[in-house]
Amino acid sequence: MAWSNWAGNVTDRATLRCPRTPEEVAEEVRSAAGEGRRIRPVGSGHSFTPIAQADDLRLDLRHLSGILSADRATGRVRVLAGTPLRVLNQALDLLGLAMPNLGDIDAQTVAGATSTGTHGTGATLPGLAGAIAGLRLVTPDGAARWVDESEPDLFAAARVGLGALGIITEIELACLPAYRLRAVERPDALDAVLPRIQEHFDAHRHFEMYWFPGTRRVQTKANDLVADDVQEPLPEWRRRLDDEFLSNTFFGAAQRVITRVPRTVLPFNEVAARALSARTYTAPSHEVFVTPRSVRFVESEYAVPREAVADVLTDLAAWVERRREPISFPVEVRVAAPDDMWLSTGYGRANAYVAVHQFTRGDHRAYFAAFEEIVAAHAGRPHWGKMHTLDAAELSVLYPRHGDFVALRDRLDPDRVLTNAYLDRVLGA
C-alpha cells in the first residue's frame, strides 16, 4: 500500500500493519523478527526526513490513541503513543492540565514528536521529550518493558530514540496545571531585534522570530503567563483574517504564483512582512502555541549554540542577498534549554533553533545546502525529523553520546529489525 509523508517528499510501498493494542504491537514485532523482516513505526508522517520510511513492514499506530490515566494532583498522565497532539491537548484541557511546552504544529503523534526531538520555544524549557516521566518500549525481541529513571541510560536514550531502540506504545507525561498565555505579536526590523535577541529570549517564557528573506523585516512573538481571570480573546474576524486567509489561503495562492514567476518573491515578501500587523490576545496555552498549517512545505532545522544565532542569521541574509533566491517562506528562530537526552539537539547545550522552509513545488536544494554550510561552522545539530545530509561519522562529533546510543542499539537490536536507510545513515549500518 502506497504511503507518503505530509510534505510528499518521502514515499514507500511497504506492507501495512495497523495494530489496535500494545499487545498486537508486540506480536507484530516478534513476528517480524522471527521472519527476518524489517519494520518501522509511523505516526502522522509529519517528518520531512525518511525516518518513518519502511522498506518491508510499516506499523501504523493510529489506533493506539487516547489517555489511559491521569492524576490531576501530580500532573502525571499516561497516554497511548499514537495519540495526535491535537487530541492530547484537548483532552488535557478538559482535565485542567497542559503540556509544559509545544511546537506550533499539533498534527504529530506524541511518540513521533518526542522520538524525533520536536520542541517549542522557551529559554528555560527543553523539547517535548523533556516532559516524559516514563515510557513503555517494545524491544525488537517483542518484550515490553517500562523505562524510567530507574534505568538511567536507557531512559536518556529512549526519550529521543528515533524508533531505533524499540517501538513506544505508551508514554507518561509530567504535565502542568492548565495555564493561559498572553501573546504579543508585532512586526519589527531585523536590525533592531537581532542585536538584542538574547535579551528577548530571556525576557519571555516563550519568544520566537520570523525573518522574511530578502527583506530586513521580521515578525516577533512573545508569550508569557497571565492570570486565569485575564480574558483578552482574539476577535474571530481577526483570527480568520490572519491565521486562515493571510497565512494559509492567500499564502498558498502566492506560493503557486511564485513557483511560476520567481521574480515576484521579493515584492511578495515585502507585502507579507507588512500585512501581519501587531496583535495581542490571551488564550489557553495550546491555543496560543499552535498555528494552522495548510500550505505544504519542506523544512530543514538546525540547533546552534545560543550565542551563535546572530552570526547564523547574518550569514544567511548575506547569502540570500547575493543569490536572490526565490525564498518565500519566513525563517523561524526559536530557543530551548539544555537537557540530558543523548540524541536530543539540546544535550548539554542551550540552543537557538533556525528553521528554513521551501514550498513543496519549489527547488530547495541550493538554499538548504547553503544553510547547512553556514550552521556547520557553529556545530549545528540537525533536527531528526527535518531535512539534513549528515551521516553517522559527522553526527558522532556533534552528539557526545552518539556512540553510547549506537552501542545500546547494538545490544537491543543486533539484527536491525527496526532499521531503514535513514537510520543506517545517521547511526551506522
On whether the CB atoms of residues 211 and 330 are closer than 8 A, the answer is: yes
Q: Which pLDDT belongs to residue 56?
A: 97
Q: How confident is the model at residue 274 (pLDDT cuts 50, 70, 90)?
A: low
The phi, psi pair for 58, rounded to 5°, reads: -110, 125
The CA angle 402-407-411, to the nearest 5 degrees, is 145
Query: What's residue 209's pLDDT?
Result: 97
For 423-429, what is the mean pLDDT? 96
Which H or E run includes 218?
strand 217-226
Instruction: Show the DSSP H helices in 65-203 as ranges.
Output: 85-94, 110-115, 152-158, 190-193, 197-203
pLDDT digits (tens, 9 = 90+) for 142-189: 999 999 999 999 999 999 999 999 999 999 999 999 999 999 999 999
Q: What is the tens place of the pLDDT at every residue in 18-32?
A: 999 999 999 999 999
When pLDDT is cut at 50, 70 and 90, the band that residue 293 belongs to is: confident
> Could you read off the pLDDT of 47-105 as tens digits, one per residue?
999 999 999 999 999 999 999 999 999 999 999 999 999 999 999 999 999 999 999 99
- Model-wide pTM > 0.85: yes
- Structure-block grid coordinates of residue 118: 520536536
- Tell me which residue of 160, 124, 99 sits closest to 289, measured CA to CA: 99
Q: SS3 of 55, please? A: coil
Pick from 88, 96, 280: nearest CA to 179: 96
d(CA 269, CA 276): 11
CA distances for 15 relative to 12, 49, 82, 138, angstroms: 9, 20, 19, 20
Task: Give the pLDDT score at 253.
Answer: 65
What whole-number distance in Å separates Cα of residue 328 and Cα of residue 253?
Answer: 12
pLDDT digits (tens, 9 = 90+) for 323-367: 888 888 899 999 999 999 999 999 999 999 999 999 998 899 999
Mean pLDDT of 372-401: 98
Going by DSSP bridges, is the β-strand pair 176-177/144-147 parallel, antiparallel, or unpaired? unpaired
